[in-house]
């Protein structure tokens, strides 16, 4: 059962990730990113990491995606004109992508060590230990990340104001 759930949600994560890249509208890309984050949360649950799955949904699929949608709406991005593709890229794109993905899958299967099964609830690190290490050992990267998010918001506001003027 775990293998079937893994294959379903891993495939969903990959499909949403590809959709994220090929979307023409930024809101569609943001929704595809929500699909990737949700699929990753289910994969974390399959690994027995309940706390990380909950944080994945609350922080990334919730708060960060609200921030992304806010910035996209603030920038008021318009649709771009599609660029024409050359005939060699149309002819060779799909077969070369298939060969590349097959080669990657073969190499991953050959080089990856065989792993045992994971039991649900075996992840023994709780929220208290994660919080303690986050605010003791990893305080500087945590604060740098929050400052970078603040700078990104301010940059979006500056870009939006230049368009209005």
What is the pLDDT at residue 84? Answer: 65
Yes or no: say if 144 and 71 are a contact pair by the CB < 8 Å rule. Answer: no
In CATH, the number for domain 2-77+121-164 is 1.20.120.1200
What is the pLDDT at residue 12? Answer: 93
Residue stretches of the chain with pLDDT short of 70: 75-85, 113-126, 162-165
- Average pLDDT value over all residues in the chain: 80
CA dist., res. 124 & res. 107, Å (int): 32
What is the pLDDT at residue 11? Answer: 92
The gap from C-alpha 113 to its chain's centroid, in whole angstroms, comes to 25
pTM summary value: 0.53
What is the pLDDT at residue 17? Answer: 92
The packing angle between helices 65-75 and 26-46, to 10°, is: 170
What is the pLDDT at residue 110? Answer: 80
What is the pLDDT at residue 70? Answer: 75
What is the pLDDT at residue 30? Answer: 82
């Amino acid at each position: 059962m775990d293998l079937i759930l893994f294959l379903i949600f891993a495939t969903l994560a990959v499909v949403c990730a590809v959709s994220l890249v090929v979307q023409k509208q930024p809101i569609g890309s943001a929704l595809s990113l929500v699909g990737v984050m949700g699929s990753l949360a289910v994969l974390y649950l399959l690994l027995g990491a309940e706390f990380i799955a909950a944080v994945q949904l609350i922080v990334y699929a919730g708060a960060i995606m609200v921030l992304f949608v806010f910035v996209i709406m603030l920038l008021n991005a318009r649709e771009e004109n599609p660029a024409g593709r050359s005939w060699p890229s149309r002819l060779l794109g799909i077969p070369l992508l298939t060969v590349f993905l097959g080669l990657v899958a073969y190499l991953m299967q050959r080089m990856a060590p065989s792993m045992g099964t994971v039991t649900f609830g075996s992840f023994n690190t709780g929220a208290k230990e994660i919080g303690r290490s986050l605010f003791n050992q990893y305080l500087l990267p945590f604060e740098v990340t929050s400052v970078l998010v603040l700078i990104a918001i301010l940059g979006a506001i500056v870009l939006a104001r230049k368009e209005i003027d």
